[in-house]
A and B are shown apart, each in its own frame.
Chain A
Amino acid sequence: MRQIALYGKGGIGKSTTSANLSAAFSEKNLSVMQIGCDPKHDSTRMLMHGRWIPTVLEQMYEKKDIKEEDIIFEGFGGVRCVEAGGPEPGIGCAGRGIIATFQLLEKMQALFGDVVVYDVLGDVVCGGFALPMRDGYAEEVYLVTSGELMSLYAANNISKAVARLGGRSTAKCKLGGVICNAKNMDNEYELVKEFAERIGSKLICYIPRSKSVQAAEVNRMTVLEHDPASEQADVYRSCADAILANDDFRIPTPLSLEELEDLARKYL
């Protein structure tokens, strides 16, 4: 089983990328599970044709005896979709919610399949959101970033968490690579590629900005379902292939803020 976690700045397109990758994996007849680890609980929405599925934490809040069918829902391509969910903004502890979600999925023995994709909140704000990297869950972390400085900053920050957790003797999690979800900036490919290399990793794929993504989303679908013959669908398929073929996992070497800023300046 391949367990893959996608981390990156909020709004960078992790959920879109995750959902399209899950769809691409499923096209290869792989058994796929996607777990949204964000209180926004919108990770699997395109796989579920716009449906907001009940979250694990909602069910925990309301029910004492939770069954698989209460929290795992089949979406496009047979992808098993789960949303951890979380508290309302400004109250409680979402990180604790992620931990409780994983404990429940573990207890139910629901974490199985050929590929499990963890789509995690924008930043590793606390130990709870680092859980997918620990305890034998995700073994590969992919940083999703554009060429924007703040996006690279977040990716660099997350790489610190990977370095800290991946460096432990009990760790299984390492950095698989960087996915560039482009904003179509000048020199964006070169910038993100060099960033990936400077942190000791590699650019695993470059996803250009495309109207087909927006078109699929307004129709509440992944690109692979909405426009399977499009170039963008092929981009996601290639990205999925690159991830499946990837066996080069590393402990990253995060950049200092000055190094990061110098790098961004270089490609202006």
Chain B
Amino acid sequence: MQENISEKRLGGCALGGTLAVTAFIRDGITVIHAPQGCAHQMFSGFHAMMADAGLSRIPKVIVSNIQNREAIFGGEEALAEALDRAEEDSPALISVVTSCVPETIGDDTEGVCAAHPASERIVYIPASGFLGGSSQAGENTALIRLAALAEPKEPIPRTAALIGEKNLESEVEENYAEVCRLLNRLGIKVILRFCRNIEAAEIVRLGEAAFFIIRDERVEEAGITIANRFGRPYVSAFPSGLSGSISFLQEAGKACGIPEEEIAEAVFAEEEYQREQLAPFAELAGTSVALGFEPFAGCHAVAREAMERIGISESADGMPVKLPFYLPVGAAGVLKMLYLWRREKRR
């Protein structure tokens, strides 16, 4: 039986995951301490994924270009030169990301960063290439290291910071909008998307958030580490599907210390909203669909819940329908899925 796609299986090298965080600090530069080939391969794939997600911006990336000479004599000098080149651009932040080579030969990357004149604006992220594990591990490492730039402050009531959005998924902005829509029912404002098209100076706002919302289990390690560091509650994932939106409201409200009556009102309003939004899909009632392969664990459950609400049945010889690649976020994700099913039926 074919397994669900686990993001842990998408690993192999931590560099890509790290870049998926650091490249979304708009006024920052990422220095990759690696051979040119590693940086090229990784950046090519990364840039293609960015383009696929509709992002035309090219992030600033510099490579230290470790060659045979550096592998033998150490790459610290090459890194220092790359930092000098990065500094010429006066970036607000320089994220130094390592591949496996400097970590294997024992370069003191942290020492070079600390000794550089711009050290106060440099963050060393020991991605360590394949030694660092997977892309997922790289993402977590980057988030944890960058979060160290922020100090705990007095939390601002009814504020949240998002941790580890999937910067390369095409629905990232739609998902963000859906989360904001739900939080708005509770009067909660997102003060930081860590790290989604932010400026380096904004990172300090992590310390002001009343609670954190972790994107999903993929960045759970970073999310929990950050929440513990600031001593704040967290919600462990974006809402998935219809009932997931309700429980998200309840969790977020509780994490933010919102009175129960207010949360109940928000839940009631959301349930009403979901009924209204599902109404236009009544024409799918009585349809039989074949769900097929589940890309990510939980997709089937979200789809089946929506099917039950509308009156859609499931059978192997039913109308083949496509499931979203990632878990549908909130009611919006479900509505988008149903819209595609309805279009398929009308054909």
A96 and B71 contacting across the interface, CB-CB below 8 Å: yes
In the bound assembly, the distance between CA atoms of A88 and B69 in angstroms comes to: 13
Q: Which residues of A contact B107 (CB under 8 A)?
A: 91
A97 neighbours in B (Cβ, 8 Å)? 72-73
CB distance from B128 to the nearest CB of A (A): 16
Would you give the shortest CB distance from B93 to chain A, in whole angstroms?
27
B56 within 8 A of A: no
Question: In the assembly, what is the distance between CA of A60 and CA of B70, in Å?
Answer: 11
Question: In the complex, what distance in Å separates the CA atom of A94 from the CA atom of B105?
Answer: 9
Q: Which residues of B contact A86 (CB under 8 A)?
A: 72
The digit string for A155-190, where 1 denotes a CB below 8 A from any CB of B, is: 000000000000000000000000000000000000
Q: Which of B200-256 contact A (CB under 8 A)?
A: none
A96 to B69: give the CA distance in the assembly, Å.
10
What distance in Å separates the Cβ of A239 from its nearest Cβ neighbour in chain B? Answer: 33
Q: In the complex, are the beta carbons of B69 and A91 less than 8 A apart?
A: no
- Residues in A with CB closer than 8 Å to B152 are none
Q: Which of A61, A88, A93 contacts B105 (CB 8 A)?
A: A93
Determine whether B197 belongs to the interface, using a CB cutoff of 8 Å to chain A: no
Task: Report the minimum CB–CB distance from B106 to chain A (whole Å).
Answer: 7
- Is A60 a contact partner of B76 (Cβ separation < 8 A)? no
Whether a CB of chain A sits under 8 angstroms from the CB of B2 is no
Contact with A along B94-127 (1 / 0, CB 8 A): 0000000000111100000000000000000000
Q: Give the distance to chain B from A122, nearest Cβ to Cβ, in Å.
A: 19
Q: Is A57 positioned at the interface, with any CB of B under 8 Å from its CB? A: yes
Q: Which of A86, A88, A93, A100 has the most CB of B within 10 A?
A: A93
B68 at the interface (CB under 8 A from A): yes
Is B68 in contact with A100, judged by CB distance below 8 angstroms? yes
Determine which of B68, B73, B104 lies in contact with A87 in the assembled complex, contact meaning CB atoms within 8 Å: B73
Contact flags A29-69 to B (C-beta < 8 A → 1, else 0):
00000000000000000000000000001001100000000
User: Is A61 in contact with B71, judged by CB distance below 8 angstroms?
Assistant: no
Q: Give the chain B neighbours of A88 by CB distance below 8 A.
A: 73-74
- Chain B residues with CB under 8 Å of A61's CB are 69, 73
Cα(A173)–Cα(B113), bound, Å: 45
**In the complex, chain A residues whose CB is within 8 Å of the CB of B75:** 92
The interface bits of chain A over 81-123 (1 if a CB of B lies within 8 angstroms of the residue's CB, else 0) are 0000011100111101100100000000000000000000000
Q: Which residues of A contact B69 (CB under 8 A)?
A: 60-61
Assuming the A-B contacts A61-B73, A87-B73, are A92 and B68 also in contact, with contact meaning beta carbons closer than 8 angstroms in the complex? no
5 pairs, CB–CB < 8 Å, chain A vs chain B: A57-B72, A60-B69, A91-B107, A93-B72, A96-B105
If A96-B105, A100-B68 are given as contacts, then 17 extra A-B residue pairs at C-beta distance below 8 Å, sorted by A number, are A60-B68, A87-B72, A88-B73, A88-B74, A91-B107, A92-B71, A92-B75, A92-B106, A93-B72, A93-B104, A93-B105, A93-B106, A94-B72, A96-B68, A96-B71, A96-B72, A100-B72
